[in-house]
Amino acid sequence: MVGFWIRIVLSMLAIAGMGWLFAAIGEARSGWLVAVLLLGGWVVYHLFYLQKAMAWLEDFQLDRVPHGSGAWESLYAKIYRLAKSSERQRQQLTETLKDFRSATEAMPDGVVTLDEDNQILYANEQAEDQLGISTEKDAGRNLINIVRHPEFVSYLNSGSWEKSVVIRGIRSSNRVLQVQLIPYGTRQRLLMTRDITQIDRLETTRRDFVANVSHELKTPLTVLNGFLETLRDLPLQEEQKSQYLGLMQIQAQRMQNIVEDLLVLSKLESTASVTQEDPIAMPALIERLGNDAKSLSRDQHQIHCHCSANSILIGAEDELSSAFANLVSNAVRYTPAGGSITIQWALEPDGSGSFSVADTGPGIESQHLPRLTERFYRVDRSRSRETGGTGLGLAIVKHVATRHQAQLLIDSEVGKGSRFTLLFPEKRLRPGPAQSRPD
């Protein structure tokens, strides 16, 4: 800056000196003319470079620095350096913003940045999906005017955001979101949203499960307790006593069945898939299941067995036998006397293996079908109890199927009967040993 003013003063002194020189040699008029011309030239010179600077700044491009001389050259260089450093800062800022956005996009939770009036500044993809907003279209709009859920609006307006809130039904009736507003910076706000639908569903299932187990065990326990009190307080005949003891045993057996099935389920749930690779000869297994069905039925049903393929099924033998036996036992228990039951193993055209149990029982109304594999779900509660059912059999079958990559299919028609099929993938099948032909 000092250098600049020294140059101005020196230029002025040179022009004045020139005038004074001419005046001293008696040429005052031409002296002043020369001085004015020089002054004019000096002004034009600076106007020229000023104009260049203006043109450059108006259509600013960093790499098109105009040529200058003297003070102008250093002025252009200074502008260049300043512009370059601000460009570098802008680039750094853009990079930081990009990093922030990719970090928030990578987050499993929704993030929305808001100003103090709840106007949207930015929302990541998860928040866009969870709240039904779009940064592109809704930036600058008030979030409350877009997400009009009463609980959400009242939380945002409450001013007490220390704790998160759980809100159901934003965008979709069964979605559950955990929402928290965090003020930051001078007046900005960060809205965090987390989809906890799955966790909430698991928690509900757990709660229902505990309630169901307690309920299932409470009934036989109450009955047992009643009999115990009667036996203790009343002088009973031997015959009556043994009748009561028999009834108590049925209730104790019922509790034992429930606990055993619960243990089987919990064991099945402890690992996602089976590692056991037992070769199970299907013809022998079908025959065994047929015999079990006959003894369960006590000759009250016609039992048919068909095994159209001599296959070996690979899997956990104890699990598969228990799943097949559950289907057979259901068919026997729910089919009235005189009905028929068919146990079948066959190969499907696509190479998969199908195990099915069909009965001519009461059938099941279609609205119950999707819920049959839920724990303790029963269509006919009293029939299930009467026949010693726990309500866990099909849940076990479904688990075993999933662990063996098999599908459980249920076809049923009310009044006609039901067919439960387990479809095993081809990779779980091997051809059985060749049968020796009779001579």
Q: Should residue 419 be labelled a site residue for ligand ADP when binding is judged by CB under 6 A?
A: no
* Stretch touching ligand ADP by CB under 6 A, among 59-67, 191-199, 384-392, 399-407: 384-392
Q: Should residue 390 be labelled a site residue for ligand ADP when binding is judged by CB under 6 A?
A: yes
Query: From CA 327, how far away is CA 420, in angstroms rounded?
Result: 7
Is residue 266 helix, strand or coil?
A: helix
Nearest to 375 by CA among 268, 265, 269: 265
- For residue 172, the tally of other CB atoms under 10 A from its CB is 11
CA distance readout (Å), 333 to 6, 58, 65, 251? 113, 92, 94, 18
Decide the pairing of beta strands 353-359 and 278-281.
unpaired
Structure tokens at 137: 């279209």
CB of 341 to ligand ADP, least distance (A): 9
| CA pseudo-torsion sign 334, 340, 342, 343 | positive
Residue among 193, 362, 403, 429 that touches ligand ADP (CB under 6 A): 362
Q: Should residue 391 be labelled a site residue for ligand ADP when binding is judged by CB under 6 A?
A: yes
* Stretch touching ligand ADP by CB under 6 A, among 117-125, 158-166, 344-352, 390-398: 390-398
Q: Which is nearer to ligand ADP, 311 or 384 (CB)?
A: 384
CB of 257 to ligand ADP, least distance (A): 8
Q: Which is nearer to ligand ADP, 251 or 384 (CB)?
A: 384
User: Per-residue x/- mask for ligand ADP, residues 302 to 341, rule CB under 6 A?
Assistant: ------------------------x---xx--x-------
User: Per-residue x/- mask for ligand ADP, residues 269 to 308, rule CB under 6 A?
Assistant: ----------------------------------------
Amino acid sitting at position 71: A
Q: Which is nearer to ligand ADP, 353 or 389 (CB)?
A: 389
b/e per residue 421-437 (b: at least 16 CB within 10 A): bbbbeeebbeebeeeee
Nearest to 196 by CA among 209, 179, 181: 179
Query: From CA 143, how far away is CA 120, in angstroms rounded?
Result: 6
Residues 175 and 168: beta-carbon distance below 8 Å: yes
Q: Which is nearer to ligand ADP, 220 or 362 (CB)?
A: 362
Size of the site for ligand ADP (CB under 6 A): 22
* Stretch touching ligand ADP by CB under 6 A, among 74-82, 276-284, 304-312, 360-368: 360-368
Q: Should residue 220 be labelled a site residue for ligand ADP when binding is judged by CB under 6 A?
A: no
Residue among 286, 379, 405, 432 that touches ligand ADP (CB under 6 A): 379
Question: What 3 state SS string does 211-253 have?
Answer: HHHHHHHHHHHHHHHHHHHHHHHCCCCHHHHHHHHHHHHHHHH
CB of 361 to ligand ADP, least distance (A): 4
Query: From CA 383, how far away is CA 371, in angstroms rounded?
Result: 17
* Stretch touching ligand ADP by CB under 6 A, among 62-70, 179-187, 215-223, 375-383: 375-383
Residue among 380, 411, 423, 425 that touches ligand ADP (CB under 6 A): 380
Angle at 16 between CA 15 and CA 18, to 5 degrees: 65
Using CB under 6 A as the binding rule, the residues of this chain from 27 to 86 that contact ligand ADP are none
Query: From CA 131, how far away is CA 134, in angstroms rounded?
Result: 9
* Stretch touching ligand ADP by CB under 6 A, among 3-11, 28-36, 217-225, 372-380: 372-380
Structure tokens at 62: 């960093």
- φ and ψ at residue 88, rounded to 5 degrees: -65, -40
69 burial type by CB count under 10 A (0-12 exposed, 13-18 middle, 19+ buried)? exposed
Residue among 282, 289, 364, 406 that touches ligand ADP (CB under 6 A): 364
Alpha helices in 107-234 (DSSP H): 125-131, 135-138, 143-146, 150-158, 197-233
CB of 421 to ligand ADP, least distance (A): 12
Residue among 147, 361, 399, 421 that touches ligand ADP (CB under 6 A): 361
* Stretch touching ligand ADP by CB under 6 A, among 225-233, 234-242, 284-292, 385-393: 385-393
Q: Should residue 359 be labelled a site residue for ligand ADP when binding is judged by CB under 6 A?
A: yes
Residue among 131, 307, 323, 394 that touches ligand ADP (CB under 6 A): 394
Q: Which is nearer to ligand ADP, 52 or 378 (CB)?
A: 378
- The contact set with ligand ADP (CB under 6 A) reads 326, 330-331, 334, 359, 361-362, 364, 372, 377-380, 384, 389-395, 418
